[in-house]
Structure 1
Amino acid sequence: MKKGIAESEYEAVVQTASAKSFVYQPPAIAHHAKRILVKPNLGYPIAPPVTVSMSVLGSVLAALRQASPQAEILIVEGVCSPVSLSDIARKNGLYPLLDSGMQLLDADLLSIVEYPNLSPAPVRFQTMWAPALLQEVDCRITVGTFKRTVLKDQSLISASLKNLYGLFPRAKYKARSANSRGQLHRPSVPQILQDVYFCIGHLFDGAVVDADRRLISPDWKPDKGAAIEFGKVFFGDDLVAVDRAACQTAKEPIPDYLDAIDQHRNQP
Structure 2
Amino acid sequence: MALIQVHSLIETLVEETNEYIAPDPYKQFFFELSLTSPVERSGNLPIKALAALDDILKTIVNTFMSCDTNKEYSDVVSNQLSFFPTLPTVHGKGKYKADGQQDKDNCRKEGYRHPTLTPGIFTVFCPHGICYGFEAMTECESPKVPFTIFKTRFHKAPDVIIYDNACNLHKYCLSREPDYFKNTRFLVDKFHWKCQIACSEGYNMERYTACVDTQTINSQINEQANAGLKRLQSQLTYMNADNFMFHISLFLSLKNREKIDKLTVNLAKNFIGNLNLD
TM-score by length of 1: 0.26
* Structure (1/2) with the larger helix percentage: 2
